[in-house]
Amino acid sequence: MKKILLVLFLTTLFISVNNSISAQCKGYAKKLCKLELIPYIHDGNYHAAILTEGEEAELYKTFYSGQDYRIAVCGADPLNIVEFQVIDAYKNVLYDNREHNNARIWDFKLESSQQLKIAVKVPDGTGESEYPASACVAIMFGFKEN
């Protein structure tokens, strides 16, 4: 009986920790990363996940002509630097934030509508820590009429 209770307790603890990490990610996107979009209007979509050093993510989105867009890619502490590239269907890199001091935002407008890929990478750690660091990474979009 004691063992069953213990198992239940530990399982609950595990789920709670998981939920708490998710909630932190949600809070980070809403309260911190979203601020990077000002003065653009956030589109309301939520794209965020816990990433570990060395891991990658990709996002596919259609961007339309006639609007100004801002992309914000942010990593919570301790992932201060998150690399991102914007790539077109011909696999041309249109923007690479490593060439812009690892900027968190990029503003652009389009002459014609296009499907683009946002490739995100958390760089490998410096090796100082025994374990690779993990934290929330959010990709957010703002827009305004041009």
Partner 1 sequence: MRRNCSISNLTKIFFLILIFCLGTRCASDKSKQKHKDANMADYLSEDDIFDDIDKAKKIFYALPSPLETAMLIKSAGATYDEQLLNSTQNTGNYTTNKSLALNLGIYTTDLSFASLFDQAQASVKYMEAARKMAEDLDITDAIDDQTVKRLEENLNNRDVIMDIISETFLNSSSYLKENDRPAVATIVLVGGWIEGLYIATQLVDDKPIENNKLVDRIAEQKLSFKIVQRMLEENRKNQTGEENKDITELMSDLTGLKNAFDKIKVETSEIKVEPNTDTNVATLRSQTKITITKPVFDELREAVKTLRTNFVQ
Nearest-angstrom CA–CA distance, 146 and 19: 40
Three-class SS of residue 12?
Answer: helix
26 lies in the binding site for partner 1 (CB under 8 A): yes
Nearest-angstrom CA–CA distance, 126 and 61: 32
Name which of 16 and 65 has its Cβ closer to partner 1: 65
136 lies in the binding site for partner 1 (CB under 8 A): no
56 lies in the binding site for partner 1 (CB under 8 A): yes
Q: Which of 77, 91, 126, 127 binds partner 1 (CB under 8 A)?
A: 91
Name which of 79 and 116 has its Cβ closer to partner 1: 116
Closest CA to 108 of 64, 76, 73, 77: 64
Contact 75, 125 (CB under 8 A): no
Q: What are phi and psi of 47, to 5 degrees?
A: -130, 105
94 lies in the binding site for partner 1 (CB under 8 A): yes
Q: Which of 32, 78, 98, 107 binds partner 1 (CB under 8 A)?
A: 107
DSSP at 33: G
DSSP at 131: S
Q: Which of 83, 102, 109, 123 binds partner 1 (CB under 8 A)?
A: 109
Three-class SS of residue 42?
Answer: strand
Q: Which of 16, 35, 81, 88 binds partner 1 (CB under 8 A)?
A: 88
Name the residues that contact partner 1, by CB under 8 A.
Answer: 3, 6-7, 10-11, 14, 19, 22-23, 25-26, 29-30, 34, 41-49, 51, 55-62, 64-68, 88-92, 94-95, 106-117, 119, 139, 141, 143, 145
